[in-house]
A and B are shown apart, each in its own frame.
Chain A
Amino acid sequence: TAGITQAPTSQILAAGRSMTLRCTQDMRHNAMYWYRQDLGLGLRLIHYSNTAGTTGKGEVPDGYSVSRANTDDFPLTLASAVPSQTSVYFCASSSGTGGAGELFFGEGSRLTVL
């Protein structure tokens, strides 16, 4: 069972370049999320989507954008990367309404911005 697939697994990116992290789920979950995880700061929510066609801002949205054209895909774009965006990015999904259900996580994308 694939669950949630993220790509790329890791990437080194020059500052100022753009980058899209891909996330695809095959569980037909309505809700999807992007978190970043940094040492000492834990997991922090970047953006979320309740259902296809809608998105919302999380705790740390600046510098990131998302889209939700369909149920399965939820890409995260960095328009102009900065070194502070070096992090591990996790995509997650949930079937629970209102975000109350279990989150299923992808394997993560490790991004280094130089």
Chain B
Amino acid sequence: QKEVEQNSGPLSVPEGAIASLNCTYSDRGSQSFFWYRQYSGKSPELIMFIYSNGDKEDGRFTAQLNKASQYVSLLIRDSQPSDSATYLCAVHSGGGADGLTFGKGTHLIIQP
């Protein structure tokens, strides 16, 4: 059973601070890792993807991957109230188009 674990939160962060979202996965063969943002009542939208160990930066967002520890994280710098949403970690294990396995999401609240 492939599992993706996230702390459900809510995670409350002051505006302008760094928000750190964490995710662990069980399948050591996982190859691709994604972070989606989902606003209440809306569909998920892709924030970042990462395939290799290390950091990947895109604007205010940084994804970090450590395959040895089976850990992936998302950092949001200079957090804004518009960043308040649920963040979903998703993992693909390869071996066929069987979709992504999603964590249950972390609810992030940016306090003005």
Q: Which residues of A contact B (CB under 8 A)?
A: 30-31, 33, 35, 40-45, 48-50, 56, 58, 90, 92, 94, 97-100, 102-103, 105-108
Contacts and interface: CB of A to CB of B under 8 A. Distances in A.
B98 A58 contact: yes
Given A56-B96, A98-B96, 18 more contacts: A33-B99, A40-B104, A42-B104, A45-B99, A50-B96, A56-B98, A58-B99, A94-B97, A98-B92, A99-B96, A100-B32, A100-B94, A102-B34, A102-B46, A102-B49, A103-B46, A103-B100, A106-B43
B43 A99 contact: no
A66 to B, nearest CB: 13
A41 B94 contact: no
B44 interface: yes
A76 to B, nearest CB: 14
B88 interface: yes
Contacts, number: 69
Interface in B36-82: 42-46, 49
Most chain B CB within a 10 A radius of its CB, from A41, A48, A90, A100: A100
Contacts of B31: 100
Contact of B94 (A30, A40, A98, A106): A98
Among A40, A48, A58, A99, the one with the most B-chain Cβ atoms within 10 Å of its Cβ is A99
Interface string B87-111: 0101010111111111111000000
Contacts of B95: 98
